[in-house]
Amino acid sequence: MNIPRMRVAIFAALVCSISAHAQQFDVIIRGGVIYDGSGGAPVVGDLAIRGDRIQRIGRLGKARARLEINAAGRAVAPGFINMMSGGGAALIQDGRAESDIRQGVTLEISGEGESMGPLTQELREYKEAREGDIKYAVDWNTLAEGLERLAQRGVSCNVASFVGAATIRENVLGFANRAPTAPELERMRGLTRLAMQEGALGVGSALIYAPGGYAKTDELIALAEEAGKYGGIYISHMRSEADQLLEAVDELIAIARAAHVPAEIYHLKAAGRRNWSKLDDVIKKVEAARASVSASLPICTPTRPLRRD
């Protein structure tokens, strides 16, 4: 049974007016080692589900369910999150997502630089022309409509997305390698606002690829500012993971500070042997940035993702 919107909630016995042995549930998972996602120590116990919600955790005794699972010696945990899913086309082809679901991944987050929307007619035609083995009609305009197409076709996982900074740029500048004019940047801000209003998690950039890499720092700050107005974050496949790694980290931190948003590094690594020694300095930069801001505005640390079902 797929439980895509699992939430762990502990219910005190005193608020329960009906004894556990009298309760009926849809699913009871018995005797597992329960990890609730908080980082605390796991506990051995039972877990009862009704509908798509966890109703009780503890020793459920004589409670019964239509489906009972013996999880003795196994871990029971909330679904895992794929923070950088590239499975948009694959989900359109086969929404079962078995390669991830069977490993416990129940939330797919996309939007690394490119996102399912917003799209112009020209961009829809361009994307259809570049499709590989998986063929499908790109018959939506906005990010929300693209995610809704997935839901309509049927997917076994939750889906969510950042709005791609490159996608925003393509809507206004196409694939031109130049800075936007002031009116063009205002249009890009407007498209970012719309995506955030539709439920985007923030702005995602991929600055190592064209046309995303054509964006200068001030352009990215402008888009991140709009995301921040709606509680979004800035997440980036940085401009370099090798020879210019330290400079790329400095840019990400500068964007987060100027836009007043949390930020996240998609790939925290040092590529190439000659750059391996830089990783210590990268970590120092991240830790210094986190220490320089208040606890209410962390930089370079994960945020709780919103969900689009």
Let me know whether 92 and 233 are in one domain.
yes
Neighbours of 4 (CB within 10 A): 16
Same domain, 132 and 206: yes
Residue 22 lies in a domain: yes
* 5 found inside a domain: no
Per the domain annotation, does 302 fall within a domain? no
pLDDT at 293: 82
β-bridge mates for residue 24, sequence order? 64
Q: Are 235 and 202 in contact (CB under 8 A)?
A: yes
Q: Which two tokens stand for residue 17?
A: 């007016």
Assess if residue 140 is contained within a domain: yes
Q: How many domains does the chain have?
A: 2
Residues 51 and 108 in one domain: no
Both 66 and 85 in one domain: the answer is no
Question: Is residue 100 in a domain?
Answer: yes
- Residue 50 phi/psi, 5° resolution? -130, 125
200 and 110 Cβ atoms separated by less than 8 Å: no
Domain end among 42, 76, 110 = 76
Identify whether residues 240 and 102 lie together within a single domain: yes
Tell me whether residue 127 is exposed, middle or buried, using C-beta atoms within 10 angstroms of its C-beta: 0 to 12, 13 to 18, 19 or more.
middle
State whether 101 and 55 are in the same domain: no
Instruction: Say if residue 71 is in the same domain as residue 144.
Output: no
Same domain (yes/no): 93, 199:
yes
178 part of a folded domain: yes
Residues 184, 202 within the same domain: yes
Cα angle 119, 124, 130 (rounded to 5 degrees) comes to 130
Helix spans in the chain (H): 88-93, 98-101, 121-129, 143-153, 165-173, 182-197, 217-228, 245-259, 279-291
> Does a cis peptide bond (omega within 30 degrees of 0) precede residue 211?
yes
Whole-number pLDDT of residue 299: 47
The verdict on residue 308 lying in a domain is: no
Its domain, for residue 195, covers: 80-291
CATH number, domain with residue 88: 3.20.20.140
* Pair (22, 113) in one structural domain: no
SS3 annotation, 103-169: CCEEEEEECCCCCCCCCCHHHHHHHHHCCCCCCCCCCCCCHHHHHHHHHHHCCCCEEEECEEHHHHH
Last residue of a domain, one of 45, 76, 107: 76
pLDDT of residue 22: 52
Q: How large is the angle between the packed helices 279-291 and 245-259, nearest 10 degrees? A: 10
> What backbone torsions phi and psi does residue 34 show, to the nearest 5 degrees?
-90, 120
pLDDT recorded at residue 37: 87
Task: Please tell me whether residues 68 and 113 are part of one structural domain.
Answer: no
Q: Are 107 and 220 within one domain? A: yes
The list of the chain residues with pLDDT below 70 reads 1-22, 294-309
Q: Which two tokens stand for residue 198?
A: 């539709």
Q: Are 191 and 118 in contact (CB under 8 A)?
A: yes
Residue 56's CATH number: 2.30.40.10
114 domain-assigned = yes
